[in-house]
Structure 1
């Protein structure tokens, strides 16, 4: 498969099911800086101020915490249909056939289970949301930057996204004792919109949100620290992707990140690196973050995802 056959264009949103819905909604709006663009009883669609996407996070009230789905965009109905047909022929389970979407902005799309059983949505023709250019000093997310997922068999998961969805490998993290641990995958010129980490079970590793710049990233980090939100790791700057990072826990223990300056690649000339993260400069070029230790790793493992091979009800 060549780049000409790449049918996924970009990351759209990440959808979370949460038991304490009201507390999560308050956190993601009042503290994290998203806008409750559309909400109904027990479900909210939260938009990032600078993004044309109708929403970057969907919260759904549920008895159990889970990752409902990860959504990606495609260029048009032809590409959506072609991807659904390709997946079906390969034996991938389709959760829904291509059709009109009932979520904000409408559009046309379908859902399927990836190899680990998480639900993935691909859509096109979603109405563009009225968004704006953020002003200097505004410490709220511009957009959803990337999503990282845990897999107990990450080599197979990476192979799935390469074979079926044509995600390209940007870089890999390894450790001399543990082997390869994280793979950064892209579907456009940005260094990664999806990364896959080796973990003890299927779960969400973290969701990352792009800030306007370094100053806004640091202001947002400071606001969360002053607000008593539990910090996991940061602030610092990774080597893979060259982006900044500040990781925090939302009220249900999902790790979420503020970032900025993710690297934009020349895909024609890029060659993936194999980075050894036993070198502390690989994890944090600045040397300002707390050490990558068992606490950081444990928070990134998250809870076992209860949504594996179970499609969300909406």
Structure 2
């Protein structure tokens, strides 16, 4: 581990975070019904609305109206990643700034027609993903997850693949004020993953070097270690394909168990993601060929070509094409 000068923030980046937090992700999949069954019967989310082709799934411990949106589609894609903004004025200011910078807006800010309503807009990021930002979304009645309940509290973070991560990281820094918390590197392949934060949590977004643009994984936070292990065990008993884990990463100091959903997306159970003292934190450059960087506990299966290939996912078929909903 080193804290040498490893990253120079973009001087044009906003002084403050443009996003308050991660809201939800949208997935388009060929087998909608099996996907919904997996997330409700195995993963621990609850269905809170559907029209038959789009289903909204919530985490019991989160005030967000939903954590995952599943849309029936012939093509598999990441429909969108949604973030929150402080208020309607922040939404308007961001849209104006992105427009001046030449970012491709899908639409102007307005009232959202999705559950919870709110005020927001969508745009394409530098790789062609659809990103949504919103404020004033109605909160959902939620509850404290009890001891022993092995269901997600909330959506923790999202990791995305791109063949040009340096450009993608610079895009998110410049336009939204994301800050780098840590970087994973390989002695021969160079820097491989950047962990980005938009609040004091170690990362809400991470950007990985991959062969094509795709979802790497989405991660869900559980109540604690016991609940995380119970959830991991439940999925193993159900026959869900495990990719990697259980273990504990060094970057973020969080636990991990990765599984494949029915349409081939990697999903993670985690807990105890690090909350940073931002006044004193300095990014680390971590060599993930060291076993303790990938897994401090030494309990997970080795990070190998099998694990890496599942994390590459299929090439995203929805780049620079806005989802219909």
Do both proteins adopt the same fold according to a TM-score greater than 0.5, normalized to the shorter chain? yes
Task: Indicate whether 1:227 and 2:238 are aligned.
Answer: yes
Residue in 2 that maps onto 1:123? 134
Residue in 1 that maps onto 2:228? 217
Of 98, 104, 111, the match for 1:100: 111
CA distance in 2, matches of 1:185, 1:179: 18
Task: Indicate whether 1:47 and 2:69 are aligned.
Answer: no
The count of aligned residue pairs is 314
Task: Indicate whether 1:132 and 2:143 are aligned.
Answer: yes
CA distance in 1, matches of 2:230, 2:218: 19
Residue in 1 that maps onto 2:6? none
Residue 41 of structure 1 deviates from its aligned partner by 1.8
Which runs of 5 or more structure 1 residues have no equivalent in the other structure? none
Residue in 2 that maps onto 1:286? 297
CA distance in 2, matches of 1:149, 1:156: 13
* Match runs of 1:188-203 below 5 Å: 188-203=199-214
Does the 8 A contact of 2:172 with 2:178 survive in 1? yes
Residue 47 of structure 1 deviates from its aligned partner by 0.2
Residue in 2 that maps onto 1:155? 166
From the two aligned structures, give the one with the greater strand fraction. 1
Alpha-carbon RMSD = 0.8
Which runs of 5 or more structure 2 residues have no equivalent in the other structure? 1-11
Structure 1 stretches of at least 4 aligned residues deviating more than 4 Å after TM superposition: 1-4
Of 259, 262, 265, the match for 1:248: 259
Deviations 1:207-257 (A, max 9, x none): 000000000000000000000000000000000000000000000100000
Residue in 1 that maps onto 2:35? 24
Residue in 2 that maps onto 1:9? 20
Of 43, 46, 61, the match for 2:72: 61
Residue in 2 that maps onto 1:207? 218
CA distance in 2, matches of 1:60, 1:38: 12
CA distance in 2, matches of 1:110, 1:196: 23
* Match runs of 1:235-274 below 5 Å: 235-274=246-285
Residue 13 of structure 1 deviates from its aligned partner by 0.2
